[in-house]
Homo-oligomer: A and B are copies of this chain.
Amino acid sequence: MENDVIFIGKKPTMSYVLAILTHINSGHDSVTLKARGMLISKAVDISQLVVRKFSKELKVSSISIGSEEITDKDNNKRMVSYISIDLKR
């Protein structure tokens, strides 16, 4: 089963907007954006750009936040927050 998740990273904002629109235009009814740490703000920006400017069909259907433990490159464990934003037709 396809998961329909787009992870928000360091590419330009418009790359993700395009990825979302492409995904929806290829016949899917929903897509989930996920982002961690400082990229959470970018994920919210991207969701708003999509629903306000680029798609009349998509709405934010649910939002969740949480935190998970990650191990960084120096082998230290730390908590990092994440957001998950569901967009639905």
Contacts and interface: CB of A to CB of B under 8 A. Distances in A.
Interface of A: 37-41, 44-45, 47-48, 52, 60, 63-67, 79, 81-83, 85
Contact of A60 (B48, B60, B65): B65
A65 B85 contact: yes
Contact of A48 (B52, B67, B85): B67
B44 A65 contact: yes
B47 A65 contact: yes
6 contacts: A39-B41, A44-B82, A45-B67, A48-B65, A48-B81, A60-B65
A63 B85 CA distance: 10
Contacts of A79: 48, 52
Contact of A67 (B52, B64, B82): B52
Contacts of A83: 44
